[in-house]
Copies of this chain bind each other. A is one copy, B any other.
Amino acid sequence: MVRKPTSKETARKPNMREAILAAAEELFATNGFNAVSVRDIAQAAGANPGSVTYHFKTKDGLLLEIYRRHCGPMNLRRSELLAAAKRVRDLQDRLEAIVRAYVVPAFTSGSDLAGGGARFTRLRAVMSAEGNEVARKIIAQTFDDTSHAFIDAIHESLPHIPRTDIVWRSHFLLGALYYSLVTPDRVSRLSRGEADGSDAAGAIEQLVQATVAAFQAPALDQAAPARRRPVVSSKT
């Protein structure tokens, strides 16, 4: 793409609206919602604080637009991958394909947005942790359908596991996914540099491998403990 110096030498304004969205996404995803001011966002985008108000009315509106921008494409891509995964005949392979269909779009963007998949997922993780109200509403009404579809698909390939266990394990999957994006440095640190927590491909493989095994674990029937419980008594 050839740069067109149509305006002044500081020609970095193809679309100020997009720049603000990108800056806000990055700042929210790393610092949380309340720690970032509208002025911070404007400065990072090379814009004036008033521009934010002009384009998005309020700070909440800005967050809302970030979600609107990503939710559609990501869920669409997940649906496509899930449909493809369901056509896998071998039951074990199918389970892995389903998990992969859930994980991959969270790391790699599904649409034209430049590599923002991981960033947006991290944003969701942070908003979820902060109990952000705007995010909570969108999440519940946008992702629950997708989550149910995945849970049902997994349940079909693991019929002997109660649905309750599937729900718990898919919940753990999302938590692990979120945390991998929130503090990748911890992986690098604890592995003493042997692993790179920021490597998306590596994280995906590790996550898929571990999660498939977790789903395949024997059912947890609270009526009768299958094996003798290891002693962990200890009184304080």
Binds B, one of A2-10, A64-72, A227-235: A227-235
| A191-B167 in contact (CB<8A) | yes
| A168-B187 in contact (CB<8A) | yes
| A232-B100 in contact (CB<8A) | yes
Chain B residues with CB below 8 A from A169, complex form? 206, 210
1/0 per residue, CB under 8 A from B, across A7-30: the answer is: 000000000000000000000001
Is A180 in contact with chain B by the CB < 8 A criterion?
A: yes
A213 contact from B128, B183, B216, Cβ within 8 A: B216
Report the separation of the CA atoms of residues A93 and B80 in the bound assembly, to the nearest whole angstrom. Answer: 41
Chain B residues with CB below 8 A from A138, complex form? none
- A57 CB to closest chain B CB (Å) equals 21
From A186, A187, A214, A234, name the one whose CB has the most chain B CB atoms within 10 angstroms. A214
Report the separation of the CA atoms of residues A47 and B144 in the bound assembly, to the nearest whole angstrom. Answer: 41
| A148-B217 in contact (CB<8A) | no
A176 contact from B32, B172, B182, Cβ within 8 A: B172
- A164 CB to closest chain B CB (Å) equals 5
Report the separation of the CA atoms of residues A216 and B80 in the bound assembly, to the nearest whole angstrom. Answer: 31
Chain B residues with CB below 8 A from A97, complex form? 230-232
Report the separation of the CA atoms of residues A81 and B230 in the bound assembly, to the nearest whole angstrom. Answer: 11
| A172-B210 in contact (CB<8A) | yes
Given the interface pairs A129-B130, A231-B84, the reply to whether A164 lies near B191 with Cβ below 8 Å is: yes
Given the interface pairs A164-B191, A206-B168, the reply to whether A85 lies near B230 with Cβ below 8 Å is: yes
- 7 examples of A-B residue contacts, CB within 8 angstroms: A77-B234, A84-B233, A94-B230, A104-B232, A144-B190, A176-B176, A210-B214
Which A-B residue pairs are the 5 nearest by beta carbons? A175-B179, A213-B217, A129-B129, A172-B176, A34-B34
Q: Give me the interface of A with B, judged by CB distance under 8 Å.
A: 30-35, 77, 80-81, 84-85, 88, 90, 93-94, 96-97, 100-101, 104, 110-111, 125-126, 128-131, 140, 144, 147-148, 151, 163-165, 167-180, 182-183, 186-187, 189-191, 194-195, 197, 202-203, 205-207, 209-218, 220, 222, 227-228, 230-234, 236
